[in-house]
Structure 1
Amino acid sequence: MSRGMRNHRSKGPSKGSGRPARHERPQPGPGAPAGAKARPPTPANPPAPETPPARRDSVEEIARENRRDRPPVEWPQGARPGFRAPVILEVEPGADYALLDSGDGEKLERYGPLSIRRPENQAIWPRRLPAALWEGADAVFTGDTDEEGTGRWRFPREPLGETWPMRQDGLPYLGRFTSFRHVGVFPEQAVHWRFMTDAISRELANSGRPVRVLNLFGYTGLASLLAARAGAEVTHVDASKRAIGWARENAELAGLSDRPIRWICEDAVRYAEREARRGSAYEIVLLDPPKFGRGPKGEVWQLFEDLPHLLVLMRRLLSDRPLALVLTAYSIRSSFYSLSALMGEAMRGLGGTVESGELVIREEGADARLLSTSLFSRWVSA
């Protein structure tokens, strides 16, 4: 119920209230003066007052409330970094993952030993491979084709469990069938992960100083685990308790439970605000936010409204010798030029270069096409 609306209670007596029946005249009690009017008897059990329904704020109201006490964004001063765009980062087919085919609003992928078929709104072209290969998929997602829609998995060949073993650059983890058509990993992010681990390795070899990585919207933890394996100290933040559990499970499987990883279940903006007040610092920041999301305490995330505030907070969290800040955006009506302009304003005075473009996956085989998955913008120090 929105603010200012009143509760409307039912009019008239309720059934069984003890009030006299219609046309029945109550009589004066003993000792009453002559001519006194009789009062209806007091009910033995008067009805309890109605409890007004709980007020339910809309998503927009919750979002406005989240931002009510937020100070205006204080944009940094100084020269903007260098600019390079468009940069197209390609994921090639390999032993761990391959995009087998795409078209007619779907994609056919190979994750380790399994072939998986699921919706893909970008694939508006025809398929290349025969229908029999599509029909022979091990797992097929059916249901809502929206990016955040829900549905279920069908296993035409044999029943499969919720998880199956996978690898990423030699690191073992569990693929996972979710009701939102995702499988626990976004393979196009591999190009960012290799960029990050290369930067960590170079810095450790050249300076020997610790490299601290902040992974916001960390999901099932592959970026965090790859960073930790490369030698970084990692803070992994996600608003989903279940996703944090999956990430810890992957850490166990990868033999990295003893590495310096902090697992934080919290709203990303709230955590970043608190870290900025503490004066915390990181050499590398990864941002992989959804278009819309909710925090563990009902917080609302809306990318266009909240990203400028969060990106400036990330600037404050970069150390005095930072290496990179990487931002990826999915399913938004925008362009990488918009992300680049935003990144350029947030990184004023730091030097370096802003690289912006698209993450794409190349199909396997001859006459391959490129499937665009997301936009990105990243600041690099050199």
Structure 2
Amino acid sequence: MIPDLAALLARRAHLPGQGTTFYRGVHTTESGGQFALDLAGDAGVLSLYTDLTVQDEVALAAACGTAAGLAAVYLKRRPPEARHAANVAREWLSPPEPVWGEARGEITALESAVPFLIRPGADLSIGLFADARPARGWVRAHAPARVLNTFAYSCGFGLSAALGGADTVKNVDLSRKVLAWGQENYALSGLDAPDADFLYGDVFGWLRRLHRRGDVFDLVILDPPSFARSKAGVWRAEHDYARLAALAAEVTAPGGTLLTLLNHAGVSPTTFDRMVEAGLAEAGRRGRAARRLGVGEDYPGAAHLKVVAWELSG
């Protein structure tokens, strides 16, 4: 059963007036866990968490598009095994053409008046994660002089730090493609984006390299995927986050902040804290959870994303 889409969308109608045209229009808690609808300008991204017939997919997309006054709706199929299948069934999971309406290609959408390039047909990830909007806002408001943004993706956190006045921002990611995407986002805000600030390669390797060089940062941002495969092996956040936190702590300056994020509904906030604390202990560092950040108002009842800012002393 399709919920009252118009009523749900009306709850977010004030966001564009506040400079945000990229947000979640319908969250899974409002659709009985069946789907979510993200809005990026005049395009919608419909994420399905249940199996539907092709006809029902199109009907739902049309209902969403009509209710939101959109030009196009793109489909993302997200079965439980999607994170494992993404590399082998990419086009089925994320069709490049809209399931309803006319293709929009690349869209410039706003988050708190900051422009970002959104590519709704590109992949399961379209350029930004709307649930981390409060965390990006916090980074922009509290940006120190030296910032390291790991698992940078399209560099939303790095851009936020640069706009917040950071003198040095380094973005690290294993994909040259998404780092170039990040440089395009910088350009939209009129910021220089020298290649030297966009570090291509494995985050673990870069953290070790930076530590050997004696580089330290006042803010280190950890926003890894919950699961990933690479040449270095398989990453599972529930098993490997402590090791990541230890390496990050080694390049965090005394008195600096380690901003830890985890998008994993199966890991409780208490368990997440323990993983980070174990990593700090491994690195011989002490820290306290100074700030906890939630998701935006457009994610009612959500508990999947944990965001904690740790202040590190010795």
Counterparts in 2 of 1:373 and 1:303: CA distance versus 1, 3 Å: closer
* Structure 1 match to 2:258: 325
* Structure 1 match to 2:7: none
After TM superposition, give the deviation of residue 306 of structure 1 in Å: 2.6
Are 2:172 and 1:228 equivalent residues in the alignment?
Answer: no
In structure 1, what residue type is equivalent to 2:159? L
* Structure 2 match to 1:134: 64
Are 2:137 and 1:169 equivalent residues in the alignment?
Answer: no
Picking from 15, 37, 40, the partner of 1:94 is 15
Counterparts in 2 of 1:248 and 1:351: CA distance versus 1, 3 Å: same
* Structure 2 match to 1:184: 127
Picking from 159, 179, 196, the partner of 2:103 is 159
Counterparts in 2 of 1:132 and 1:310: CA distance versus 1, 3 Å: closer
Q: 1:152-175 deviations in whole A, cap 9, x for unaligned? A: 1424122221x1111222222211
User: Aligned partners of 1:270 and 1:110: how far apart in 2?
Assistant: 36
Q: 1:316-372 deviations in whole A, cap 9, x for unaligned? A: 1111231x2111112352211011122234446866631576733434xxxx94334
* Structure 2 match to 1:10: none
- Identity rate, percent: 21
Picking from 338, 344, 361, the partner of 2:271 is 338
Q: 1:100-155 deviations in whole A, cap 9, x for unaligned? A: 2231421123223333322358xxxxxxxx99742535213154534534321424
3-state SS of the aligned residue for 1:375? strand
User: Aligned partners of 2:225 and 2:157: how far apart in 1?
Assistant: 16
* Structure 1 match to 2:203: 268
Counterparts in 2 of 1:338 and 1:172: CA distance versus 1, 3 Å: same
Tell me how large the CA RMSD over aligned residues is: 3.1
Are 2:296 and 1:376 equivalent residues in the alignment?
Answer: no
Whether the 8 Å CA contact 1:215–1:234 is kept in 2: the answer is yes
Whether the 8 Å CA contact 2:288–2:311 is kept in 1: the answer is yes
Whether the 8 Å CA contact 2:132–2:296 is kept in 1: the answer is no
User: Aligned partners of 1:139 and 1:193: how far apart in 2?
Assistant: 26
User: Which segments of 5 or more consecutive residues in structure 2 lack a partner in the other structure?
Assistant: 1-11, 51-59
Are 2:39 and 1:110 equivalent residues in the alignment?
Answer: yes
* Structure 2 match to 1:34: none
Whether the 8 Å CA contact 2:175–2:200 is kept in 1: the answer is yes
User: Aligned partners of 2:293 and 2:141: how far apart in 1?
Assistant: 20
* Structure 2 match to 1:304: 238
User: Aligned partners of 2:186 and 2:196: how far apart in 1?
Assistant: 10
Larger radius of gyration: 1
After TM superposition, give the deviation of residue 381 of structure 1 in Å: 5.8
* Structure 1 match to 2:53: none
Picking from 203, 219, 231, the partner of 1:284 is 219
* Structure 2 match to 1:257: 192
After TM superposition, give the deviation of residue 194 of structure 1 in Å: 1.7
User: Aligned partners of 1:92 and 1:372: how far apart in 2?
Assistant: 23
* Structure 1 match to 2:248: 314
User: Aligned partners of 2:195 and 2:146: how far apart in 1?
Assistant: 10
After TM superposition, give the deviation of residue 199 of structure 1 in Å: 1.7
Counterparts in 2 of 1:351 and 1:93: CA distance versus 1, 3 Å: farther
User: Which segments of 5 or more consecutive residues in structure 1 lack a partner in the other structure?
Assistant: 1-90, 122-129, 204-210
TM-score by length of 2: 0.74
After TM superposition, give the deviation of residue 260 of structure 1 in Å: 9.4
* Structure 1 match to 2:56: none
User: Aligned partners of 1:376 and 1:319: how far apart in 2?
Assistant: 20
Q: 1:27-59 deviations in whole A, cap 9, x for unaligned? A: xxxxxxxxxxxxxxxxxxxxxxxxxxxxxxxxx
User: Aligned partners of 2:196 and 2:157: how far apart in 1?
Assistant: 11
TM-score by length of 1: 0.62
